Amino acid sequence: MNDFTKEELIKLKNGIEYLPNSISISHQYLADCVVIMQKLDGMIDNYCEHDGEIGHDYPGEKCMKCCRMWE
């Protein structure tokens, strides 16, 4: 299940990326932001649009691309 759309993930990353330009933040906070942006990049790169299939053996949908289940 994707809690965020790909577009929302990109907006979150952009917001964090441009945060230091808006306010004064500590070096540690900036380092934390870099780690978060790297995680968001990974989520964006691995984002699956979920091409689903309803099956008889499971209650929800199963993605044909990433094989993850969602309801």
pLDDT in tens, 47-67: 887 766 555 555 567 777 777
Q: Is 1 a domain residue?
A: no
Structural domain total, the chain: 1
Q: What is the mean pLDDT of the chain?
A: 80
Which residues share a beta bridge with 70? Answer: 61
Q: Is 60 a domain residue?
A: yes
pLDDT of residue 25: 79
Domain around 26: 6-70
Mean pLDDT of 4-24: 87
pLDDT of residue 1: 43
Q: Is 42 a domain residue?
A: yes
Q: Is 38 a domain residue?
A: yes
